[in-house]
Amino acid sequence: MSARILISASYFVVAILFILGLKSMSSPVSARKGIVWAGAGMLIATLVTFLSPGMQNFALMVIALAIGGGIAWWGGKVVKMTDMPQMVAIYNGMGGGAAALIAAMEFARGEMHGSVVAALATLGALIGAVSFSGSVIAFTKLQGLMKRAHRLPGQNLWNIGVAAFTVLVGAGMVASGEPAPLQILVFFALALALGVIITLPIGGADMPVVISLYNALTGLAVGFEGYVLGNPALIIAGIVVGAAGSLLTQLMAKAMNRPLTNIIFSPITGEAQAGGSQIAGSMKEVTGLDAAAMMRYAQKVIVVPGYGMAVAQAQHKVWEMAELLEAEGVEVKFAIHPVAGRMPGHMNVLLAEAGVPYDKIFDMEEINAEFEQADVALVIGANDVVNPAARTAKSSPIYGMPILNADRARNVICVKRGKGAGYSGIENALFYGENTRMLYGSAQKAIAEVIAHIKELSA
């Protein structure tokens, strides 16, 4: 068997493994198996690359693989589950950055033969660079290095202007055939700046959608550069990632009842609420003992986890509390909003790590009708996804966004670190409801106190 036939056959196997892996990742039950299959496909694609005709610099390739693989292995071992969103963001950004660098090197070497190849390389470089710089900004926000969203004066004019200028410079590169070094530098500087400008104002419930969008852009960039290099593995991987990311982004945007253009050009912030009608009522505090008693003597409790649970690393305590309640005959379920947390599936990952059975975790569409029969809705560090202003307040920036109907439970207990607004800066009308009580403090400490009181009540 010739090397070329072996390579083609291997790429066919890689494509099958990628598709099977992606299909398996659609369910928490089979997700681990899917990751293994996709990883095996990527390993095969990497090893087969060494057999490509004309391949050189094997020593540098091995060194690069050793360094990159070592960093990834170490990072995967030490990363906390609460830090997974920023890890996903930065790794995704690296993929886009790598695609942009490939295009930059091809342009610098004058290897762009043909207008179609040059156009695809330029398009891949543009979206790859945007994904890289945008993902870096997302990482700094998720890591807490950037404390809040930043909106430029005339934000949308900046977005449109920089995007148009970048496309114009890119078109000039394609038309020239052999762009000058300064032209290449200006193009990439503009593309990187565009990613930064677009991502700076993003926050709150928009963040998971943006991370998913950049994931899709990275896939597309890799696919385009795979065509430029004539590498089927990159084309296959790029198409699969780009298509999956695009579908996920559309589904999440639909779950928020907001078009993608609205998320990018009109991100959720608390500014739109300023000057609007004030929320009537006051926040009423509850003690850990009272919260424990409300749930201990309830028939049904629905837990709504949010980013506050992730920050406090309280998922294990939450499941311990749920097991205690179930031992006393209380029915406990977990309700997950599609954009809860800081990345797609964030809450599902945390609950799975804590050992919560999959059959106790429900999506919004599955469980929303059950809140009216729940004695207690326990909201742990969630804000926008349970804010009833999304239904009633037309002045609210989240108006029209589907939410979890936690406010319709007989009693609502909200675990919150303080009295300020959430990450997006939007006041939550749920906190002021007549049937709502606030349990202040870190989720880890607050739930631990509730657990202690449940044990006392059950003794």
Q: Is the pLDDT of residue 395 over 50?
A: yes
Give residue-wise pLDDT tens across range 134-161. Answer: 999 988 888 878 866 778 888 888 989 9
pLDDT given for residue 248 in this prediction:
84
State the DSSP code for 328: T
Give residue-wise pLDDT tens across range 7-32. Answer: 888 888 988 998 898 888 877 778 88
DSSP labels, 41-69: HHHHHHHHHTTSTT---HHHHHHHHHHHH
Active-site residue, selected from the candidate residues 83, 206, 363, 384: 384
For residues 34-50, give the mean pLDDT.
89
List phi, psi (to 5°) of 339: -115, 25
Nearby residues of 130 by Cβ (< 8 Å), 6 or more positions away: 96, 191, 192, 194, 195, 198, 214, 217
pLDDT given for residue 367 in this prediction:
95
pLDDT given for residue 275 in this prediction:
39
Give dist(CA 227, CA 26) in Å, integer: 28
Judged by DSSP in three states, 424 sits in coil
pLDDT given for residue 177 in this prediction:
73
Nearby residues of 180 by Cβ (< 8 Å), 6 or more positions away: none
DSSP labels, 282-303: ---B--HHHHHHHHHT-SEEEE
Q: Is the pLDDT of residue 322 over 60?
A: yes
> If pLDDT is split at 50, 70 and 90, which confidence band does 266 have?
low
Give residue-wise pLDDT tens across range 209-242. Answer: 888 899 999 999 999 988 888 888 888 888 888 8
Kindly state the percentage of the chain with pLDDT values over 90.
40
| Region for residue 44 given its phi and psi (left: phi exceeds 0; alpha: psi -120 to 50; beta: otherwise) | alpha
Give dist(CA 121, CA 177) in Å, integer: 12
- Say if pTM beats, i.e. exceeds, 0.95: no
Average pLDDT, rounded, for the chain:
86
Tell me the two tokens of residue 454: 């449940």
Give residue-wise pLDDT tens across range 341-391. Answer: 777 778 888 898 889 998 899 999 999 999 999 999 999 988 888 999 888
Domains, the chain: 79-267 (no CATH), 288-458 (3.40.50.1220)
**Of 412, 344, 335, 346, whose CA–CA distance to 369 is shortest?**
335
Question: CA 248: distance to chain centroid?
Answer: 10
For residues 175-182, give the mean pLDDT.
83
Question: Residue 379: enclosing H or E segment and its boundaries?
Answer: strand 376-380
Tell me the sheet residues that pair with 376: 301, 411
For residues 194-210, give the mean pLDDT.
83
pLDDT given for residue 205 in this prediction:
62
Q: Is the pLDDT of residue 291 over 50?
A: yes
Helix 3-24 × helix 232-255 angle, to 10°: 10
pLDDT given for residue 274 in this prediction:
42
List phi, psi (to 5°) of 355: 95, 15
Q: Is the pLDDT of residue 249 over 90?
A: no
Q: Is 384 a catalytic residue?
A: yes
- To which residue do tokens 């390389």 refer? 121
